[in-house]
Amino acid sequence: MPAPLVCCGLTTLDVTQTVDRLPAADEKVVADGLDVTFGGPAANAAAVAVGLGVPTTLVTVLGTGPLADVARAGLAAAGVAVVDLAPDAPDVLPVSTVLVTRATGQRAVVSVNGARTPRLPAPAVDLLTDARALLVDGHHPGAAIALARAARAAGVPVLLDGGSWKPTTADLLTVVDLAVLSGDFRLPVPEPRDARGPGGALDDEAVDALLDAVAAYGPSFVARSAGAGPVRVRHARPDGVVTRSVLRPPAVPRGAVVDTLGAGDVLHGAMAAALAKGEGPSDALAEGVRRATASVRHAGARGWLDASRDRS
């Protein structure tokens, strides 16, 4: 299923409930909102890209069973073409339980991610025939690395959604051109205690050191998002000159934040879509940040797309 954008990584089934507050130990709270739909970094990114007008193929694992049927139907409705690497494997689709706090839009997530995924075959690299960008999220690393190597050889930019460090992240980074890290991303070596600012956040110097360390594996463009905070960027130009910059997201009034679930997926999906349209890394990142900021005013990772369609 050749397409301008290929996304490789995790699909989940997300069960999302909205609550006034998170429950304490041995406490039950009543939710007044419930949504059951597909999720996962690569799956959400693929749906975002399609919503922005870029045909996208998702390489993932769904398997068989009623939960897989729900996710598959949702992806089809979103217009995402799917290549299932384990189409006959029963009950392998991860389920994420998400609690969204109504007043702040913050979310708490429990998920098994890809822990039950069987050994996967290598995907066919002819999926990249028409590709102008490849996004990988660090899950299903064998498939991701195979596609990334083929993309690099064909001159197709490879973008990593760096949500967290995984055992295979180092290998994947060697075949990645652009890496956009989450605020939770850490190297396996802990940073000095004095590298943390108020609330345990990394200070600017520590973030820049993190970007340097990730870039040492191979990516020429490395950035780190920080929720509503500034995005720090390290870009090594072809002539070897390294530039640093800071991208500040548009401000969102606190009372306007409905749901932060999937904002990072929106960032990566919109950035990948922009890369597939031929935008450079900095402009593509700015587009991703802009779309992610808009998304938190709506429920779910894709609610803002529905709102955009309703206005058009």
Over 50: is that where the pLDDT of 112 sits? yes
**In this predicted model, what pLDDT tens digit does every residue of 244-253 receive, in sequence order?**
999 999 888 8
Render the burial of 178-202: b for 16+ CB within 10 Å, e for the rest. bbbbbbebeeeeebeeeeeeeeeeb
Over 90: is that where the pLDDT of 234 sits? yes
**In this predicted model, what pLDDT tens digit does every residue of 199-220 receive, in sequence order?**
557 889 999 999 999 999 999 9
> What average pLDDT does the chain have?
89
Over 50: is that where the pLDDT of 312 sits? no
DSSP codes, the chain = ---SEEEES--EEEEEEEESS---TT-----SEEEEEEE-HHHHHHHHHHHTT--EEEEE---BSHHHHHHHHHHHHTT-EEEES-TT-BT---EEEEEEETTT--EEEEE-TTTT----PPPPGGGGTT-SEEEE-SSSHHHHHHHHHHHHHTT--EEEEESS--TTHHHHHTT-SEEEE-TT---SSPPPGGGB-GGGPBPHHHHHHHHHHHHTTS-SEEEEEETTEEEEEEEE-TTS-EEEEEEPPPP--GGG----TTHHHHHHHHHHHHHHTT--HHHHHHHHHHHHHHHTTSSTTTHHHHHHHHH-
Q: Region 133-155: what's the mean pLDDT?
A: 96
Over 60: is that where the pLDDT of 198 sits? no
Range of the domain at 148: 5-311
Q: Tell me what pLDDT residue 115 has.
A: 54
Residue 285: give its domain's CATH number.
3.40.1190.20
AA letter at 142: G
Q: Which residue has the higher pLDDT, 34 or 310?
A: 34
> Quick one: how far is CA 294 from the chain centroid?
16
pTM: 0.89
**In this predicted model, what pLDDT tens digit does every residue of 157-189 receive, in sequence order?**
999 999 999 999 999 999 999 999 999 899 987
Distance (Å, whole) CA 128 – CA 26 = 50
Burial of residue 153, with CB atoms counted within 10 A of its CB: 0-12 exposed, 13-18 middle, 19 or more buried: exposed
Distance (Å, whole) CA 165 – CA 221 = 17
Number of folded domains that form the chain: 1
